[in-house]
Amino acid sequence: MALSELPAERHREIGRTFTDRVRGTRAWDVPSPVAEWTARDVVRHLTEWFPPFLAGGSGVQLPAGPSVDDDPAGAWQAQYDAVQALLDDPATAGLVLSNRHIGDVPLDRAIDQFYTADVFMHTWDLARATGQDDRLDAGFCAELLAGMESIEEVMRSSGQYGPRVPVKDDADAQTRMLGFIGRDPGWAPPTATVRE
């Protein structure tokens, strides 16, 4: 089933999947596919970069949730609910996010383009780190990849993406997108060493 094109609905769908992976996480300090990040750090990233980006560009302050250190699931849920409420509010349609890198963008579109897409990509990180279903919507993977490939130089220079990981030419959209953003699609959690 294809994801909605509407920012509020797409956030609801992608956020729901990420929430399922958060709820399914049994160990928060396991390694993730992002070098030097644990599963907890995946949630920390999403809950720490977005509120200042939103506030700085639109003046909208999200209510503070619990600390990721104390309650990663609660921290995620608080942010997911707050962002969904913002997107569902009819008044949001008249708001704009201003940023020196992207100019003025309707707030719902800015959330969709920068934040919801980030949640989508990091769903794989959390799922893979914690041994859960890591399949992503193929159509949205292809859409994101096409958009990112057109601005690859800008993305790489931001320092937010690692070098592209080579994948087979005939790889599926998810594998190609993961390779593009610097993930090894074959990454698996390290196994414990068994001592005899």
pLDDT tens, position by position, 50-92: 999 999 999 999 999 999 999 999 999 999 999 999 999 999 9
Residue 168 domain flag: yes
Alpha-carbon distance of 19 to 77, in angstroms, equals 7
Q: List, for residues 111-155, the tens digit of each pLDDT value.
A: 999 999 999 999 999 999 999 999 999 999 999 999 988 887 777
Instruction: Give pLDDT, residue 82.
Output: 98
Q: Is the pLDDT confidence value at 48 over 50?
A: yes
Instruction: Give pLDDT, residue 2.
Output: 80
Instruction: Give pLDDT, residue 1.
Output: 60
Q: Is the pLDDT confidence value at 14 over 90?
A: yes
33 and 112 assigned to the same domain = yes
Q: List, for residues 162-196, the tens digit of each pLDDT value.
A: 788 999 989 999 999 999 999 999 999 887 544 44
For 111: left if phi > 0, alpha if psi spans -120 to 50, otherwise beta; the answer is alpha
148 and 89 assigned to the same domain = no
Identify which of 106, 116, 134 has the alpha carbon closest to the alpha carbon of residue 32: 134
11 and 42 assigned to the same domain = yes
Q: Is the pLDDT confidence value at 13 over 90?
A: yes
Residue 129 domain flag: no
Residue 1 domain flag: no
Domain extent for 101: 7-121
Identify which of 103, 126, 164, 154 has the alpha carbon closest to the alpha carbon of residue 15: 126
- Domain count for the chain: 2
82 and 159 assigned to the same domain = no
Interhelix angle 7-23/72-88, nearest 10 degrees? 170
Per-residue buried b or exposed e for 103-117, using 16+ beta carbons within 10 Å of the residue's own CB: eebbbbebbbbbbbb
Are the C-beta atoms of residues 55 and 83 closer than 8 Å to each other? Answer: no
98 and 17 assigned to the same domain = yes
Are the C-beta atoms of residues 28 and 72 closer than 8 Å to each other? Answer: yes
Residue 82 domain flag: yes
Residue 130 domain flag: no
Q: Is the pLDDT confidence value at 29 over 60?
A: yes
76 and 167 assigned to the same domain = no
